[in-house]
Chains A and B, each alone.
Chain A
Amino acid sequence: MTGKTAKLFALFLLTAFLFNFPFLNIFSKPMMVYGVPALMFYLFIVWIIIIVVIRLTVQNVTIGLPFVQTNPKNKKKKKT
């Protein structure tokens, strides 16, 4: 597992906890934040943060294109 994938895996675990009970219990109270129910406020804020974090984490990643399965030996043959 490379650094980036490990980070993303950690993010997955964190998100799974943040988006489930008992975390939600903390915010599931009759309470308004900026006029919005605390639970909804919490869920959407965390949601946005996760999107941003994913965006930043994968920013400079590229995946190689392994689709074309050519035989390297034969490729050389063709060139010559």
Chain B
Amino acid sequence: MNSSVFVVASLLYILLLFLIAFYTDGKAKTGRSWVNNPYIYSLSLAVYCTAWTFYGSVGKAARSGAGFLPIYLGPTILAPLWIIVFRKMIVISKSQRITSVADFISSRYGKSTFLGVLVTIVAFFGIIPYISLQLKAIADSFDILTTLSGNQLALNNLTQPLTYDSFFYDTAFYITIMLAVFTILFGTRNVDPNERHEGLVTAVAFESIVKLVAFLAVGIFVTFFLYHGFQDIFHQASLNPKTSKLLFMPENSSVSSEWFWLTILSMCAFMFLPRQFHIAVVENINPNHILKAMWLFPLYLLIINIFVLPVTLAGMLQFEGLNIKPDNYVLELPLLRGQNLLALLVFIGGLSAATSMVIVETTALSIMVSNHIVIPPLLNNLTKYKSDRLDISDLVILVRRISIVIILLLAFAYVRTIATNRELVSIGLVSFAAVTQFAPIAIGGLFWKGATKIGAIAGLLAGFFIWAITLTLPTLAEYGIISSSIVEYGYFGISWLKPYALFGLTGFDQISHSAFWSLFFNITIFVVVSLYSNPEPIEVAQADYFVNIYKYLNVGSDFEVLKREAKMEDLRLLLTRFLGEERASVLWNNYQDVNGINLQKVIIANAEIIAFAETQLAGALGASSAKIIIGSVVKEDPISLNEMLNILDQTQEIILSNRELERKSIELQEMTEQLKYANEQLKQLDRLKADFVTTVTHELRTPMTSIKAFSKILLDNKDLPKDQHDEFLNIVVLETERITRLINQVLDIEKLQSNSFEWKMQRLNINELVSLAAKGFTPIFKEKNIQFDLILPEHPVTIMGDNDRITQVIVNLLSNAVKFTHTEGGGLNGLIRLEVAVIEDSVTIKVSDNGKGIPDDKKSMIFERFTQIDDPQAGKPTGSGLGLFISKRIIEHHKGRIYVEDNIDSKRGNIKNGATFVIIFSIA
């Protein structure tokens, strides 16, 4: 295949990236952000999948079967924790304007300049091989596509060694340059206090789609066109002794330890690789995007890994006996069948995987290098000359651009000299092991307030040192750069200092071995030194901020722990010089708007304004540089550790009192609710009273009307027949009695309420009293056809009480029962039972009827004043609504209880429905 096709294709592809990034940046300027959605965020996280994934997974699988998977299972295992870890990192980073993983660690440990430098150096040395891996993959793919194609493959590949000095490597070089240009344009557009690059993120998300599609295409081609599906490949592979052993993991300790350590490394790398931190934390716009990414990203990983093993097996079966590196199977398989277009797609996919990583990683690294290594030493000089009109933001951008070029050139040099024959995965894992050293101090710093700067420095140095002597130096030795005897005989000829068997530890692969020892020393030293060292005041403040970030978020910036002041003029000058005039004035205006302060009138800036300025500078230059810059114009009251701790305690107290306030206001709200409820009840009562008055008046008027009418008839018609005359008189008497009864009841209530009731307490025989009261009802029962059962105990029962009053209660209950019992339909339908029973030392009087019963919602109200049970069939209630109220008062005066219950179909009786009123007295 003509090599120029691939050159043109790759140029066009990168041009497309330029267009996407350029277009998105334009959109972002007009305020319509594409990046502000969870799908772009999830896709951009897939920058995790590099050429390593695209080409290297197959290479790894060819050696160890499922052994390529832990790298993707690690982030999947971690995924449920994103909402805890990433959320916290994002919230902290946004509020402190943190721009890189170095900045994050340095900020946590008192904005330490030294830690920033250290992290940057570890990242720099750790990542260069990783970037070179990408360039190597691009170069290799060029080499394969342009020298070999189709059927020539077998011949050429046996005889022709790879030509590393060829034009194709020069092409890779040009690609490197183009990547540098892209990164410079879109990764260092300006010194932005948010350090966000929407064009870059969109381009990366786009590349994630391209590499996924390309890999799926080759996977589908191999699985379903070269073979007849998964089963076919696996079946064929199981027949070949070389491939069959890849289907199952051999059971031995080295496999399981490698698997375990790779999941650990990939978890750490996923969080703390500079590019991952940059995409996941710095470029994050909305922490809610994490929620989608938590499952979308593992899904992406799953999909891109489905075809890895089938492609590997197919490659091994197809190229058996040929000297073809498994890393290249993805590309060689389509070529083998003359699928040149598919090969082109695969090539573009690999290019996208490689370029996305290179672009983001170099951007992130360049920010770290400029903010932590280059700028800090210059700061003292830069801030001294205050009259100098040099715009320092230009300088920062320049430094970043130069860093990008240097990083890429170094990576390129690494490919040419060292990485030529190594497997992609083994190069990448060295980088993973390096950034894993950040995990203890970063995660520890996020959740453990006791972690100190000295501890972090010691732990990181130890980890980095072990990493270097167990992975990097031996690699250099293999290439003869340093004496190769160290691998065989150990450092200084000491046998227990062998780089691959430190302290005599064997049975591990190199990566697990290094990861184990480096993490062991890193964590141990970090923890022990932290426990035995004293933090500086600013460390304590930052530690509290990081660990308890959520408590600070609600209270705003009221809690400036450092007592400092500065001339407003100086602060203005600093911001202008480091961020540019335009941006600085925008920031100040925003500050004025949000805080309602006129900064023109401020001469001496307070701690809050200084903190604002420092945060903005930190966004551009990193926290430690910002601290130095601010320090040059700020007068700071020296603060002791104890004072700092006191201030933090006070902060805690204020926050607690805020919570207390919140609690109080909730209580108040509850009380208001209760008052409202009480008020409602009062209103209800008022309404009842009004109703009662209406009822009483009505009740009074009805008998009055009939008395008046009948009296008039009697008066006017003196010659009425005697029986009619008597009947009318009878009615008048009855109606008068009714009025008297009503008035008596109203009077009773008055007496009960004013406690002027006269009680004549004496020993009473309940049996007698009840029988007597019931006797009075006999004519009524007969008249209304009501069956009446009276059940009394065999022995007389005595209580202390007022004879008349208790009789009044019984009569009231009985007349209620008569009123409500079932009387329809004629015959002996109505049923009333009065039962007296002795249970232990109390006597129970029950009055039951078989009427409608009392609705549940009325049960509690029925003993209240003025409550009447409406019976829709009977129309208006006939009672006054006072009987039960009076009864209750009377019973209560006797220290008894009265309540109502539903009739249960008891074994003894057959009374269903209806209500039972129960009175309980104690026996005298």
**Chain A residues close to B by CB (< 8 Å):** 4-5, 8-9, 11-12, 15-16, 19-22, 24-25, 28-32, 34-40, 43-44, 47-48, 50-52, 54-55, 57-58, 61-63, 65-72, 74-75, 77-78
Contacts and interface: CB of A to CB of B under 8 A. Distances in A.
Q: Which 9 A-B pairs have the closest CB atoms?
A: A35-B231, A21-B256, A8-B80, A66-B553, A37-B247, A28-B249, A11-B80, A55-B295, A54-B295
A8 B83 contact: yes
Contacts of B341: none
A51 B302 contact: yes
B298 A50 contact: yes
A34 B79 CA distance: 29
7 contacts: A15-B77, A24-B249, A48-B302, A51-B302, A58-B295, A63-B291, A66-B95
A25 B299 CA distance: 25
Contacts of B319: none
Nearest to A30: B248
A52 B296 CA distance: 10
A68 B81 CA distance: 25
A22 B251 CA distance: 10
B450 to A, nearest CB: 20
A69 B91 contact: no
B234 A22 contact: no
User: Mostly helix, strand, loop or mixed at chain B's interface?
Assistant: helix
Nearest to B81: A12
B256 A22 contact: yes
B595 A50 contact: no
Contacts of A34: 231
Nearest to A34: B231
Interface in B638-668: none
Contact of A63 (B235, B249, B287, B595): B287
B557 A15 contact: no
Contact of B80 (A32, A54, A62): A54
Nearest to B247: A37
A35 B556 contact: no
Nearest to B84: A5
B73 interface: yes
B294 interface: yes
Contacts of B255: 21
Given A5-B83, A54-B295, A74-B596, A19 B94 contact: no
B260 A58 contact: no
Contacts of A12: 77-78, 80-81
A38 B248 CA distance: 8
A36 B231 contact: yes
B155 interface: no
A9 B66 contact: no
Contacts of B76: 15, 19, 47, 50-51
A31 B238 CA distance: 10
Contact of B84 (A8, A35, A54, A65): A8
B69 interface: yes
Contact of A51 (B69, B73, B298): B298
Contacts of A22: 256
Contacts of A15: 76-77, 80
B83 A40 contact: no
Given A39-B65, A77-B596, 18 more contacts: A12-B77, A19-B263, A21-B256, A30-B248, A35-B230, A35-B231, A35-B235, A37-B247, A39-B66, A40-B309, A44-B302, A47-B298, A50-B76, A58-B291, A58-B295, A68-B594, A70-B594, A71-B557
Interface string B137-165: 00000000000000000000000000000
Interface string B242-263: 0010011111000110011001
B298 A9 contact: no
Contacts of B288: 62-63, 65
A75 B594 CA distance: 7
Contact of A44 (B234, B290, B306): B306
A24 B250 CA distance: 11
Contacts of B290: 63
Contacts of A74: 594-597
A30 B247 contact: yes
Contacts of B231: 34-36
A48 B295 CA distance: 10
A30 B259 CA distance: 19
Interface string B583-606: 000000000011111000000000
Nearest to A28: B249
A29 B247 CA distance: 9
A5 B597 CA distance: 40
B299 A51 contact: yes
A47 to B, nearest CB: 5
B256 to A, nearest CB: 4
B291 A61 contact: yes
A39 B65 CA distance: 10
Nearest to B87: A63
Contacts of B94: 66-67
B736 interface: no
Nearest to A79: B596
Contacts of B299: 51
